[in-house]
Amino acid sequence: MQQSLLSPPVYDQEILKIFLSVLCGSVLGFEREIRGKSAGFRTLALICFGSTIFTICSYLLGVDANRDRIAANIITGVGFLGAGVIFRNNISVSGITTAASIWIAAAIGMLIGIGEYLLTGISVALSLFVLYVMDYIQFWIDNRFQQRNYRILFKDKNEADATCRKVTQLGLRYNHLKVSRTDQQITLEMVVNGKGDQLEIFNSWLLEEQTIGSFYW
């Protein structure tokens, strides 16, 4: 029997896409949630979910010549959301990875919306690899190749030479060396590069030296 024109259409594929988008967004958001980030479990699930809905609407509207119009506005809206989670303080910028997670969650939602399930699976797998596995790689890199800007204040200029020798003895490297004097105080400014554990030993040495008034990094 032919389906009546008045009966509602069946959107089995669209319903599947909606549930799949919530699942993928939740999986991506779990990593941000356990790290206590501003955009976590629910946020990324809603972003992926919303991107899928807008993508479905884009082709259900039936405008063949301009189907990318809604997709382009998804990217614009996600850009505003990403900018809202990036914060800058005096010495660093935080929230960039969270903003990138919002961006990729929206992209995956759009892939689900157009029915590219294979690309969706590959994208989710690679995103999880970057968020989880590469975090350990980044920690190893950061620990092995740290860079700190030191500003050391002491009274005797000879101690500046001793400080440079100590840096070399610990297997660290320094550059941008600058020595200045104000009244009776000598200031040494230097950029030190090397392993994190060796830098901690250098910090302990600075704390124990009686001729050093203070230091900052």
- Where in the chain are the domains? 12-143, 145-216
What token pair was written down for 4?
């009546």
- Note the CATH number of domain 145-216: 3.30.70.260
**Which segment of 153-162, 179-188, 204-213 scores lowest on mean pLDDT?**
153-162
Are the CB atoms for 166 and 198 separated by under 8 Å?
A: no
Per-residue pLDDT tens over the stretch 29-58:
888 888 777 777 888 999 999 999 988 888
Comparing 53 with 178, the larger pLDDT belongs to 53
pLDDT at 64: 62
What confidence tens digit (pLDDT) does each residue in 120-149 have? 999 999 999 998 888 888 888 877 888 888
Residue 191 forms beta bridges with which residues? 149, 175
Whole-model pTM: value is 0.70
Helix, strand, coil percent values for the chain (each to nearest 5): 60, 20, 20
What tens digit of pLDDT does each residue of 188-203 get?
888 898 888 888 888 8
The pLDDT of residue 61 is: 74
The whole-number pLDDT of residue 147 equals 84
Confidence of residue 67 (pLDDT cuts 50, 70, 90): low
**137 neighbors 122 (Cβ within 8 angstroms):** no
